[in-house]
Amino acid sequence: MTSPTVPKSLLEYSSRVASLPRGEDASHEGPRLAPHLGLQPVLPCWSTEPIIPGGLPPAFACQAQLQAVGKMDHHRASMDPDSDHPLNSVGAIPLRKPRTPKETFRKVGIPILVTLLSVMVIIVVAVLIKVILDKYYFLCPNSLHFIPRGQVCDGHPDCASAEDEEPCVNSFPEQPAVTVRLSKDRSTLQVLIPTTGNWASACYDNFTEALAKTACAQMGYDSQPTFQAVKIGWDQDLDVVEVTENSQGLQVLNSSGPCISGSLVSLHCLDCGRSVKAPRVVGGVEASVDSWPWQVSIQYNKQHICGGSVLDHYWILTAAHCFRKYLDLYNWKVRAGFEKMDHFQSLPVAKIFTIGQNDSHPKEKDIALVRLQLPLMFSGTVRPICLPFFDEELAPATPLWVVGWGSTEPNGGEMSDTLLQASVQVIDSTRCNAEDAYQGEVTETMLCAGIPGGGVDTCQGDSGGPLMYHSGKWQVVGIVSWGHGCGGPSTPGVYTKVASYLNWIYSVRKSEM
């Protein structure tokens, strides 16, 4: 009698069960799954029925265990398919109620706002402290100690490295002649011949944009020049030469022959002297900044001290006596672009240049150049005025204009907060120096302007402002300088003659390029 055959499937099942790895404990026999997150699952299974040869495969029961690796506790869960809990469940975990926007703002937003406000308060306090310290004290950078503002620019170094004498008005002495200049004859270019000391007109032959830029740079212009050919006039009394350049600037071409083109170079270094609106009313009346877009207010500690004229994006022309009381640059500002004092936007001053006072003639050399830290943005209300030509001569009675925020009272007094304008005329220097006038005080570097009968004049607060002449374009021919009283019949205003200081103006601006 043959033995009952065990079903192949049962044999395979039994062998599979027998081959399963055993645990450390006999009661925990069964296959082990790969550990995950520190838990090592164990699956022990056992037969719940005897194995009957030739019968059906016995039923098996299994219990899942999660055996902790290390010192973790064992968590058991029945593999009952009807169980409502996950295999490793130890109880219900309550869900967190989501925060409302109000609760989120209270817990997150308010602390952030408090932090931001604290930072802002600290910044504001720090700025206020700096403003107060800068107003009344000067910090010596190297030695890191403060000195009173009154000791700055007093001619006596108080800082270890004399830093307190550096941010001051600079004295820039007159220099040798610049070797180029422009004539009132159609703005023609002239060049100095060093071997003879004579001046010659530049021929248009082979003249280039590069030569134009070089010539303008010698006069202190950092701009895009324009030039054109103009025919040589019948009254041309200078030699006409072809020019080239070297490291110093323009020079006469040694092999210069005749000017084949028969034309001279008409050069314009800057678009200047154009206003949007022409002045229409005469005599100390309110002015429009559209008519005088180059007029600026030069202020110390926000107080108007002097007027000035815009020469280009960085340079302001004014009078030297404006700075004799306040030599420290820190509190100087320049304001441009509006008629009303309270509508200005200020720009800080980088440097101030004067020639230096002439002790024997203290009223001479009353001219200064102010360099701004930031460039002026040109518009309809901010534009440059032209410098005069070197050979510009103004005959007596030539009409001129003055403008400013100065006093409207004959003996001075409160200044106007509105820009005023007036038409005046050139007064003969002989009349100006008469016994009942200035008795010889007016020199060749000055000119007089006013009304023969008096009544219209510049006054305190107008100092440094422009005396203007129109010949196709507006030129600043004078700087408001000094006078006896305001508007007297025999004592007109006295002005610095700008044409006498063109070489100095060119030299200062070129030194800062």
* pLDDT tens per residue, range 287-312: 788 889 999 999 998 899 999 999 99
Options 3.40.50.150, 3.30.1300.10, 3.10.250.10, 3.90.1150.10; CATH of 180-268: 3.10.250.10
Instruction: Using the predicted structure, report yes or no on whether residue 53 has a pLDDT greater than 60.
Output: no
What phi and psi, each to the nearest 5 degrees, are found at residue 32?
Answer: -110, 135
Q: Any catalytic annotation for residue 361?
A: no
CA–CA separation, 154 and 147 (whole Å)? 12
Span 200-222, pLDDT tens digits: 999 999 999 999 999 999 999 99
Strand partners, 345: 336
Q: Which of 134-148, 380-394, 407-421, 474-488 has the lowest mean pLDDT?
A: 407-421
Identify whether the C-beta of residue 426 lies closer than 8 Å to the C-beta of residue 448: yes
More confident residue, 75 or 389: 389
The region of weakest confidence among 17-26, 41-50, 407-416, 441-450 is 17-26
- In b/e form, how buried is each residue of 16-45, taking b as 16+ CB within 10 angstroms? eeeeeeebeeeebbbbbeeeeeebbbbbbe
Q: Are 407 and 418 in contact, with CB atoms under 8 Å apart?
A: no
What is the distance between the alpha carbons of residues 360 and 362, in angstroms, rounded to a whole number? Answer: 6
Q: Catalytic one among 321, 416, 481, 500?
A: 321
Give Cβ neighbours of residue 215 (< 8 Å, ≥ 6 apart). 180, 189, 225, 249, 250, 267, 269
| pLDDT the model gives residue 15 | 47
Least confident of 37-41, 148-152, 275-279, 417-421: 37-41
> Roughly what angle, to the nearest 10 degrees, separates helices 502-511 and 209-218?
110
- Catalytic-residue membership of 271: no
Q: What is the mean pLDDT of residues 144-156?
A: 84
What's domain 285-511's architecture?
Answer: Beta Barrel (2.40)
Contact 481, 494 (CB under 8 A): yes
In sequence order, the β-bridge partners of residue 386 are: 475
The predicted structure's pLDDT at residue 192: 94
At 186 the pLDDT is 95
Catalytic-labelled residue, pool 205, 312, 328, 366: 366
Does the pLDDT at position 30 exceed 50?
Answer: no
Copy the structure tokens of residue 284.
């100390």
Are 167 and 223 in contact by the 8 Å Cβ rule? The answer is: no
Contact assessment for residue 174 and residue 358, using Cβ atoms and an 8 Å cutoff: no
Residue 420: the pLDDT is 87
Query: Coil, helix or strand for 367?
Result: coil
| Contacts of 247 by beta carbon, 8 Å cutoff, 6+ apart | none
Band (47; pLDDT cuts 50, 70, 90)? low
463 is catalytic: yes
Buried b (16+ CB within 10 A) or exposed e, 261-299: bebbbbbbbbebbebeeebeeeebeebbbebbbbbbbbb
- What is the mean pLDDT of the segment spanning 405-412? 71
pLDDT of residue 34: 42
Chain mean position to CA 378: 14
Nearest-angstrom CA–CA distance, 79 and 76: 9
Q: What is the tens place of the pLDDT at every residue in 342-362? A: 556 689 999 999 998 776 778
**Mean per-residue pLDDT of the chain:** 81
Nearest residue to 396 via CA among 443, 439, 429, 441: 429
Q: What is the pLDDT of residue 73?
A: 46
In the beta sheet, which residues pair with residue 203?
264
Domain range annotation of the chain: 8-77, 106-164, 180-268, 285-511
SS3 content of the chain, % helix, strand, coil (to 5): 20, 30, 50
Give 191-207 as a DSSP string.
EEETTTTEEEEEB-TT-
* 495 has a pLDDT exceeding 90: yes
Selecting among 263, 275, 309, 463, the annotated active-site residue is 463
- Residues whose CB is less than 8 angstroms from the CB of residue 59 and which lie 6 or more positions away in sequence, other chains included: 47, 48, 49
Tens digit of each residue's pLDDT (9 = 90 or more) over 66-112: 444 444 444 444 444 555 555 455 555 666 778 788 777 778 888 88
